[in-house]
Amino acid sequence: MWGRHHSDVPYGVVDVGSNTVRLLVAAHGKPLLSLRETLGLGEVVERTGRISESKLVETARHVSRFVDEAREAGADDVEILITSPGRQAANGPELVDAIEDETTAPARILSSQEEGQLAFIGALSTLHLPPRRRVTVVDVGGGSTQLVVGSAREGIIWSGAIDLGSRRLTSRRLSGDPPSRRDLEQARAEVDELLAPLVPPLSRSAYAVGGSARALKRLVGGRLDEAELAGAIDLLARTSHVDLVDHYDVNPARAETLAAGATILDTVRAKLDTPLKVIRAGVREGAVAELGARRRAA
């Protein structure tokens, strides 16, 4: 017998992404514990096409520690979700095996569609919008970018993705410190080309989730509209990574990829022809919302 109703028990999600590994533990949809570790898997995958043995071991060790932390916080259910590094690395299944060998929690690689779906669920869980209001959720990660359109009533009606995120674009086009104007133009052209086949339906508003969006919001102090993003990209084109950290309170790992994140977000904004409102919730919040829904239904 449960000592308390099982919906009261915390649950946890470990998100293995291109730049970081993150833990979120929640109960009743409210966060209890949040941890992160920067590992840079996406950079290794972009450079070599696979995850090195040392990175497999390092990632599994950190994930195991996060699972232990989640259980110490009272989480009975812990899920491990692997995003773009698992999809893009030639040996992505080896990452799943390495993690499951180190932990007792299930691990799986999310498809782009599943990742976008969780980002959408996470966003809507915090927005409290009218049920019929159709919105677009944009999730720029380190290795890929997802666009999802839907409403609370309809659910998801359209989704699309490009296999390019802030870390991948940095490695390919924007390795300068700071990046040159020419490199920024070429980076935008690449994003534009990849986005061209995507034709999302119109929506009332658009929301951006993910680390790049949050860092840019802190940088510009508001929503990501045409003028604010143009100003941010101009600043990033003339500011070194060190100065971003020292003078603008940008996380050191984020400073290297922020110009790429801004370029992707501004290109998406132009395609949608609407400003982007930044919110904190995303894939992890969507995953814990799904865990909570499954638990309530059990």
The model's pLDDT over 275-295, given as tens digits with 9 standing for 90+, comes to: 999 998 889 888 888 877 776
User: What pLDDT shows up at residue 297?
Assistant: 66
User: What pLDDT shows up at residue 120?
Assistant: 95
Compute how many other C-beta atoms are within 10 angstroms of the C-beta atom of residue 90: 11
Fold agreement between 6-110 and 113-278: yes
User: What pLDDT shows up at residue 1?
Assistant: 25
Closest CA to 108 of 296, 297, 295, 290: 290
Domain extents in the chain = 6-110, 113-278
For the chain, list residues with pLDDT below 50.
Answer: 1-6
pTM of the model: 0.91
Tens of pLDDT, residue by residue over 245-268, are 999 989 898 999 999 999 999 999
CB 43 within 8 Å of CB 68: no
Alpha carbon distance 132, 191 (integer Å) = 31
Q: Which CATH number does 6-110 carry?
A: 3.30.420.40
User: What pLDDT shows up at residue 292?
Assistant: 72
Fold of the CATH domain 113-278: Nucleotidyltransferase; domain 5 (3.30.420)
User: What pLDDT shows up at residue 288?
Assistant: 84
User: What pLDDT shows up at residue 51?
Assistant: 96
